[in-house]
Amino acid sequence: MDRAKARLQKLCERGRLFLGTDVAIMGGAMSWISERHLVSAISNAGGFGVLACGSMPPDILAAEIEATQKMTTKPFGVNLITMHPQLADLIEICGRLKVGHVVLAGGLPTGASIARLKELGLKVMCFAPTAMFARKLVRLGADALIIEGTEAGGHIGPVTTSVLAQEILPEMREVPVFVAGGIGRGDIIVSYLEQGASGVQLGTRFVCATECIAHPNFKQAFIRANARDAMPSVQIDENFPVIPVRALPNKATRRFNVFQQEIIERFRTGELDQKAAQLEIEHYWVGALRRAVIDGDVDNGSLMAGQSVGMVTREQPTADIIAELIAQAEEALAQRMAAFAETVCV
């Protein structure tokens, strides 16, 4: 097992050095969930916590960063949404408070945003949905990339993690690449590292961490769910696009389908123009995640979850989750080494 441990350390060395951590496991930035308690717990356990800024105004983000810094001396990052109206101010706060890494999400970031972060001495990570975008982001100055497949929770793209890994990992050696989406065990972490990934990002697996502030009702919904329960939202009409969101079904998701039909009918009768109708549909989920995560209303809130939710079976301390993932990874490597040794000896 010592050889397996050494092999795992070698496989994720680039990711560990980039993040400044013991293990190359990032926590996915989940709104209302990835706040100071969970983020500091992930970092203190040897991983890399990432604060979810979401729609926070600058003063709230500053307070959250400072509170997290009081709970851990280990590295952690901040996830900023590129469409945030005060993105420039948020960037300055990250620089002033000496956050080591910023993850830019929610769309292709501008070269100016990346340049300013780097001027402030921060490392920049970006999401790459395709190999073409991966190359463009590196040209813009991204220091590392994250590729996230459709198995992930929340807003998702159309391509699976395994396909993205095959498309991008062989083509992108210039910067570290972290793989996300549907990861729930250490065995699969090893597979992606052997394909060339520098590390991984997990979100759903950490929702039921003891340190996570999510309401007990929210956590129980995850514990009871299986992989097939985490479904993407349905778009009723192609003229009214809906960005797919993977979540556990409840009254709210079923009502959303009816709501779309009602709004589209109001458009057809002339009561709403297309822009107003689209806004009505987009605003349906406003506040829904908070209702579920914080208030515990798992019927009317949003239960965003990745397909790895089926591997969330109980509430555990964050350190135990990371230790379990590492143990599974080392066991997988030990078995491969033993099988190879037997083949050589035959």
The model's pLDDT over 16-69, given as tens digits with 9 standing for 90+, comes to 999 999 999 999 999 999 999 999 999 999 999 999 999 999 999 999 999 999
Alpha-helix residue ranges (DSSP H) falling in the chain: 2-11, 13-19, 36-44, 58-71, 87-96, 111-119, 131-140, 161-168, 186-195, 216-224, 251-268, 274-282, 288-293, 318-345
Give the residue from 183, 214, 245 where a domain finishes.
214
Q: Is 64 helix (H, G, I), strand (E, B) or coil?
A: helix
Q: Are 267 and 178 contained in the same domain?
A: no
342 pLDDT more than 70: no
**Mean pLDDT calculated for residue range 327-344:** 84
318 pLDDT more than 60: yes
Residue 185 lies in a domain: yes
Residue 344 lies in a domain: no
Q: Are 112 and 253 contained in the same domain?
A: no
CB 120 within 8 A of CB 91: yes
Q: Angle at Cα 239 formed by Cα 236 and Cα 241, nearest 5°?
A: 65
CB 239 within 8 A of CB 221: no
Q: Are 25 and 108 contained in the same domain?
A: yes
Give the residue from 214, 244, 276 where a domain finishes.
214
Residue 92 lies in a domain: yes
| Percent of the chain with pLDDT strictly greater than 90 | 89
Counting the structural domains of the chain, the total is 2
pLDDT category of residue 344 using cuts at 50, 70 and 90 = low
Give the residue from 179, 214, 249 where a domain finishes.
214
Q: Are 97 and 65 contained in the same domain?
A: yes
340 pLDDT more than 80: no
Look at 93-97, 194-198, 286-290, 294-298 and tell me which has the smallest mean pLDDT.
286-290
DSSP state of 177: E
Q: Are 104 and 170 contained in the same domain?
A: yes
The model's pLDDT over 62-106, given as tens digits with 9 standing for 90+, comes to 999 999 999 999 999 999 999 999 999 999 999 999 999 999 999
**Sequence-ordered list of residues with C-beta below 8 angstroms from that of 132, at least 6 positions apart, any chain:** none
**Mean pLDDT calculated for residue range 239-255:** 92
Q: What's residue 107's pLDDT? A: 87
Q: Are 253 and 189 contained in the same domain?
A: no
Residue 123 lies in a domain: yes
Residue 23 lies in a domain: yes
Distance, in Å, from the CA atom of 326 to the CA atom of 4, rounded to the nearest integer, reads 11
> The dihedral of CA 325, 192, 12, 172: what is its sign?
negative
CB 276 within 8 A of CB 16: no
The model's pLDDT over 130-163, given as tens digits with 9 standing for 90+, comes to 999 999 999 999 999 999 999 999 999 999 999 9
324 pLDDT more than 70: yes
Residue 82 lies in a domain: yes
Q: What are phi and psi of 201, to 5 degrees?
A: -130, 130
Look at 138-142, 271-275, 319-323, 327-331 and tell me which has the smallest mean pLDDT.
271-275
Q: What is the mean pLDDT of the chain?
A: 95
**Sequence-ordered list of residues with C-beta below 8 angstroms from that of 274, at least 6 positions apart, any chain:** 239, 240, 267
Q: Are 262 and 174 contained in the same domain?
A: no
Q: Are 152 and 296 contained in the same domain?
A: no
Q: For helices 87-96 and 111-119, what crossing angle results, to 10°?
A: 20
The domain of 42 spans 2-214
345 pLDDT more than 60: no
Residue 174 lies in a domain: yes
Q: Output the domain CATH number for residue 93.
A: 3.20.20.70
Q: Are 238 and 162 contained in the same domain?
A: no
CB 204 within 8 A of CB 182: no
Q: Are 207 and 236 contained in the same domain?
A: no
Residue 343 lies in a domain: no
Q: How many CA atoms lie within 13 A of 152 on its CB side?
A: 28
Look at 23-32, 259-268, 277-286 and tell me which has the smallest mean pLDDT.
277-286
Q: Are 128 and 253 contained in the same domain?
A: no
Q: Are 127 and 10 contained in the same domain?
A: yes
- The pTM of this model reads 0.94
Cβ-count burial of 138 within 10 angstroms (0-12 exposed, 13-18 middle, 19+ buried)?
middle
